[in-house]
Chains A and B, each alone.
Chain A
Amino acid sequence: KAGVTQTPRYLIKTRGQQVTLSCSPISGHRSVSWYQQTPGQGLQFLFEYFSETQRNKGNFPGRFSGRQFSNSRSEMNVSTLELGDSALYLCASSLVDREGNEQFFGPGTRLTVL
């Protein structure tokens, strides 16, 4: 079974631009969660999508948004990029919900904002 894939793996943007990251979950997984990791911080929860609906959202500004498609693939968008948005963005999929089920993580997208 193929694992979680994320594209692109690396991205360099400048302040003020916007970016879209993509995540393809494991086949059959309906829940996709997004996380941000910055130096010195643990994984910070961004949001979770299940059956094309945002089910939970972390404490991030509205510049961070996402969506999920009918095939469970998910995209995350960050508008008006700031230097502090430079981070590793991970997505994770699970069968039903993230809380009680183990999550399978993708390799991440390393975003650098200049």
Chain B
Amino acid sequence: ILNVEQSPQSLHVQEGDSTNFTCSFPSSNFYALHWYRWETAKSPEALFVMTLNGDEKKKGRISATLNTKEGYSYLYIKGSQPEDSATYLCAFTSSGGGADGLTFGKGTHLIIQP
């Protein structure tokens, strides 16, 4: 069973501050790393799908980096806004597919305080 860890579990950030959090995953048999944002009462929304070591992706004020050799990805939010409040999930895919093909972490619950 593959283990995907996210830290911290929850985070309170002042509006306007920047923040980041971590996703750790197995460094062997890497295929892809996904980031999702899940707002309360909505469906999870895809942010990024990353496949290459050293990948860096950006969408507005949100960006992510990927290190497949050491098994971690960071998600950064610049100048946090109240609408950034959500749970951020990462999901790891191994090249083996199968039952462990897409494994989610438990998420980082982000609360932006005005």
A contact set with B: CB distance below 8 Å: 3-4, 33, 35, 40-45, 48, 56-59, 90, 92, 98-108
Contact = CB atoms under 8 A, between A and B. Distances in A.
B97 A90 contact: no
A29 to B, nearest CB: 13
A59 B99 contact: yes
Contact of A42 (B32, B46, B89, B93): B89
Chain B interface residue bracket vs A? 20 to 34
Interface of B: 1, 4, 31-32, 34, 36, 42-46, 49, 51, 89, 91, 93, 97-99, 101-107
Nearest to B87: A42
A44 B36 CA distance: 15
A99 B97 contact: yes
B32 A43 contact: no
A105 B102 contact: no
